[in-house]
Structure 1
Amino acid sequence: MLDLVTETALTVTVTTASRTARADRVSSTQEAILKAAERLYAEHGVFAVSNRQVSEAAGQGNNAAVGYHFGTKTDLVRAIEHKHRGPIEELREQMVARLGDSADLRDWVGCLVYPLTEHLAALGNPTWYARFAAQVMTDPAYHDIIVRDALSSESLVEVIDGMTNCLPDLPADVRAERNIMARNLLMHSCADRERGLAQGMSVPRASWSDAASGLVDAIVGLWRAPVTQEGRTT
Structure 2
Amino acid sequence: MARTSGPETRDKLIRAAEEIFAAQGVHGAQLRDIVALAGQGNPSAVQYHFGSRTGLLDAVMAGRQERTERVLAPLLDAAPDALHALVGALVTAEASELRTDRGRRCLRISAQLSHESGVRTGTPHPTLADTAYWRLIERIEACLAADGLPRPLRLERLDLALTMVGAAMADRARQYLDGTEPLTGEALFLADLVTTTTALLRAAQPRSV
Shorter-chain TM-score tier: 0.7 to 0.9
Distance 1:26 1:151, change over 3 A: closer
Q: Which has the higher helix share?
A: 1
| 1:7-40 deviation line (CA, Å, top 9, x unaligned) | xxxxxxxxxxxxxx97x63322222211111111
2:169 — aligned with what? 190
Identity %: 27
Report the Cα offset of residue 103 of structure 1. Answer: 3.2
1:105 — aligned with what? 83
1:179 — aligned with what? 158
Report the Cα offset of residue 115 of structure 1. Answer: 0.9
Aligned residues: 202
148, 155, 163: which one aligns with 2:125: 148
Distance 1:39 1:222, change over 3 A: same
Alpha-carbon distance in 2 for matches of 1:81, 1:36: 13
Report the Cα offset of residue 124 of structure 1. Answer: 4.5
Indicate yes or no: 2:56 matched with 1:91. no
Distance 1:70 1:118, change over 3 A: same
Report the Cα offset of residue 218 of structure 1. Answer: 0.9
> Does structure 1 retain, via aligned residues, the 8 Å contact 2:97–2:104?
no
Alpha-carbon distance in 2 for matches of 1:40, 1:88: 21
Distance 1:175 1:77, change over 3 A: same
Alpha-carbon distance in 2 for matches of 1:90, 1:198: 24
Alpha-carbon distance in 2 for matches of 1:98, 1:163: 15
> Does structure 2 retain, via aligned residues, the 8 Å contact 1:55–1:63?
yes
> Does structure 2 retain, via aligned residues, the 8 Å contact 1:39–1:132?
no
Alpha-carbon distance in 2 for matches of 1:80, 1:172: 32
What residue identity is the alignment partner of 1:64?
S
Indicate yes or no: 2:102 matched with 1:130. no
> Does structure 2 retain, via aligned residues, the 8 Å contact 1:106–1:216?
yes
TM-score, normalised by the number of residues in structure 1? 0.77
Report the Cα offset of residue 93 of structure 1. Answer: 0.9
Alpha-carbon distance in 1 for matches of 2:107, 2:95: 9
Select between 160-169 and 38-47 the one with higher mean Cα deviation: 160-169
Select between 158-167 and 195-204 the one with higher mean Cα deviation: 158-167
Distance 1:152 1:225, change over 3 A: same
> Does structure 1 retain, via aligned residues, the 8 Å contact 2:64–2:103?
no
What residue identity is the alignment partner of 1:59?
G
Alpha-carbon distance in 2 for matches of 1:108, 1:144: 18
185, 198, 203: which one aligns with 1:225: 203
> Does structure 2 retain, via aligned residues, the 8 Å contact 1:42–1:132?
yes
* Residue segments in structure 2 that go unaligned for 5+ positions in a row: none
Report the Cα offset of residue 162 of structure 1. Answer: 2.0
Alpha-carbon distance in 1 for matches of 2:89, 2:130: 13
TM-score, normalised by the number of residues in structure 2? 0.86
Alpha-carbon distance in 2 for matches of 1:126, 1:98: 24
Distance 1:91 1:144, change over 3 A: closer
